Chains A and B, each alone.
Chain A
């Protein structure tokens, strides 16, 4: 077995050599997670914004359920989607099991609670702070939710990035529903798991480095976005003037 330093060195060589196997796995991984994230965000932002302003019996229970789903292990999500897509399952007619679509579906289901819960939190905070003023302008709850979600678009973009981070780094769900088939459903995380078990540490490390770089880039993007937003759109609190002095 090669030493850690040898593995790192080989991994860097692999990254530099434009290895087609490596980069096809990376591209598939980004495509699956990106698409899953897109689907989850379209549904999740609408659902989360609605949950933030809606009042109905059982809302508390629904919020508890969404918050519980945040902590569901990805293999459990994979198992549920597997059962849904299996030949005898309700979605078996689609014939998606062990395919790209199955992995997208599994990751969408996995990430959806994250988007819903975080969007709900962001919009609900905004609603508590400013909802009354929008209501005073005549905005009803659906319009209020839309306006507040739009106003919190940078915070929601952070939610999107966080969701993508969760999707791209999970291994359980895609392993169960995708089957880790080389050239078809092998993504970065499943490839890392497989190559490590095979003892091919350089490839696993190279993929791990790419994964780390993706997460790092996401974090940098979030930080830059936040800084730009503060500079361009003036998020500083209003001057308090003599209200503070009086206090």
Chain B
């Protein structure tokens, strides 16, 4: 197995606070790894560590020097200039001439459907458009490893779908060499749709590291990590209650072994909405 990223007993400390503790991890070429966990569990820190923005306080980080990396943040930073210049900037910093960088940036903008907004000030774009711009900025650098830190967390549902579709396209389109993608997400549906492997983090430790099908299999997850099981259960219920609609409960892709939760969620929705509906059928 070709490993593009490897961590060996890595620890990250901020002062006396241990943010990541003893993380050992190998990421193979072409894997799509989702990092899940509550806020403060260390997902962003792990991504920053893997991208080289942080140095491990202990342990080792090995990166394939030939594998170009790019990272997309939850709130992308756009300079006070046009969308085109913002995308070209990444290429220019990597050593391309400004003219060549702008030509490639235009292709990148077309790739994410923003070609017509190339001349517009980047900061006047919507949150979803700025996130697509950030994806274009990462994509034009032709990365072998793409790291995304909750790229859809602060977007509305429509923009969320657009960005997710782009992520799926990037992962699918780059067949040779395969794009390795690591992303942090709170959205379990997104994790299920995009990831091939899931890492569950809790207080800076990796508590579960499973293929996506196993992660969403209640019995398997319970066997591996009771805390990960509890997290997924809580997130599914929270998600159902967040939507607060019976339809959402009924149409949600309840994972294997978690279907019993569906009834609980449905009942809670009934209470929340004060509107009894038919009992959900078996999915």
Could you tell me which A residues sit within 8 Å of B by CB distance? 129-130, 132-139, 143, 147, 150-151, 153-154, 232-236, 238-243, 246
Chain A residues with CB under 8 Å of B70's CB are 136
**Which of B89, B93, B121, B137 gathers the greatest number of chain A CB atoms within 10 Å?**
B93
Q: Tell me the nearest residue of chain A to B76, going by C-beta.
A: A133
The answer to whether B156 and A137 touch across the interface, beta carbons within 8 angstroms, is: no
B97: min CB distance to chain A, Å: 16
Q: Which of B71, B77, B126, B156 contacts A130 (CB 8 A)?
A: B77
Complex partner residue of A239 from B51, B80, B94, B127, CB under 8 angstroms: B127
Pair B127/A233 contact, Cβ less than 8 Å: no
B127 touches A238 (CB 8 A): yes
A138 touches B79 (CB 8 A): no
CA distance A153 to B81 in the complex (A): 12
What chain B residues lie within 8 Å of A240 (beta carbons)? Answer: 127, 154
Residue of B53, B80, B155 near A136 (CB, 8 A) is B53
Q: List 6 A-B contacts (CB under 8 A).
A: A129-B77, A132-B48, A136-B70, A137-B89, A235-B123, A241-B155
Number of interface residues, chain B, beta carbon within 8 A: 30
Return A225 CB to nearest CB of chain B, in Å.
13
B90 within 8 A of A: yes
Interchain CB contact under 8 A, A234 and B123? yes
CB-CB < 8 A to B51: which residues of A? Answer: 136
Q: List chain B residues, Cβ under 8 A from A235.
A: 123
**B98 close to chain A: CB less than 8 A:** no
Q: How far is the CA of A132 from the CA of B125 in the complex (A)?
A: 22
Confirm or deny: B258 has a beta carbon within 8 angstroms of a beta carbon on chain A: no
Residue of B nearest to A150 (CB): B79
Look across to chain B and name the residue whose beta carbon is closest to the beta carbon of A152: B80
Q: How far is the CB of A89 from chain B (nearest CB, A)?
A: 45
Q: How many angstroms between the C-alpha atoms of A180 and B49 in the bound complex?
A: 61
List B118-173 residues whose CB lies under 8 Å from chain A: 121, 123-127, 130, 137, 153-157, 159
A151 to B77, CA, bound (A): 11
Given the known inter-chain contacts A133-B73, A136-B53, A241-B127, please indicate yes or no for A151 contacting B80, CB distance below 8 A.
yes
Chain B residues with CB under 8 A of A137:
89-90, 93-94, 137
